[in-house]
């Protein structure tokens, strides 16, 4: 779960999904979910769903606040997908940022304007990671409560 928590800040592993999966695995390993375990799994499933939606909304809002165009945001999505496959581990954010910078530079023909729009995407990614980090701690706390009720 600590690796999952690390994954919320560094896109190496799918952080919250890993924490969720390990909580489910825990239930199977102990051979009992019980009412508390089921409640924890339902809660953590909802947290993961909320995180996915938030992962789309937060970067977009931050990008909008910095004046990033819709075309650049689309380029960020395409760049993220290409980057994910082209450069394992760190390609997703590099591709996204390269997409934003390239489109905004082509639009404004100045590095300053392109960088301003790219900062919006960076802020969005940063906020998104910090929120996921906090959600990861909440998920681990919920699992810990469940584990404590099984042990005690």
Write down the mean pLDDT value for the chain. Answer: 92
pLDDT of residue 43: 98
How many Å apart are CA 99 and CA 74, to the nearest integer?
8
What stretches of the chain show up as alpha helix (H) in DSSP? 2-9, 15-30, 34-65, 70-86, 91-108, 111-151
Express each pLDDT in 101-149 by its tens digit: 999 999 999 999 999 999 998 999 899 999 999 999 999 999 999 999 9
Q: What is the pTM of this model?
A: 0.83
Tokens 């390609």 correspond to: 91
Closest Cα partner for 6 from 124, 132, 139, 145?
A: 132
Percentage of the chain surpassing pLDDT 90?
76
- Which range of residues forms the domain containing residue 58? 2-151
Express each pLDDT in 62-83 by its tens digit: 999 998 999 999 999 999 899 9
| Burial of 113 from C-beta contacts in 10 A (0-12 / 13-18 / 19+) | middle
- Total structural domains in the chain? 1
């Amino acid at each position: 779960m600590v690796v999952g928590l690390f994954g919320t800040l560094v896109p190496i592993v799918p952080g919250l999904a890993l924490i969720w999966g390990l909580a489910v695995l825990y239930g199977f390993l102990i051979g009992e979910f019980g009412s508390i375990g089921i409640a924890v799994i339902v809660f953590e499933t909802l947290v993961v769903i909320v995180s996915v939606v938030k992962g789309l909304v937060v970067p977009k809002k931050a990008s909008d606040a910095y004046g990033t165009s819709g075309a650049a945001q689309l380029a960020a999505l395409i760049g993220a997908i290409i980057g994910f496959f082209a450069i394992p581990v760190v390609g997703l954010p590099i591709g996204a940022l390269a997409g934003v910078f390239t489109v905004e530079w082509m639009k404004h023909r100045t590095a300053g304007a392109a960088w301003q729009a790219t900062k919006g995407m960076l802020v969005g990614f940063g906020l998104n990671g910090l929120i996921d980090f906090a959600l990861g701690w909440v998920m681990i706390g919920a699992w810990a409560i469940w584990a404590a009720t099984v042990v005690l």
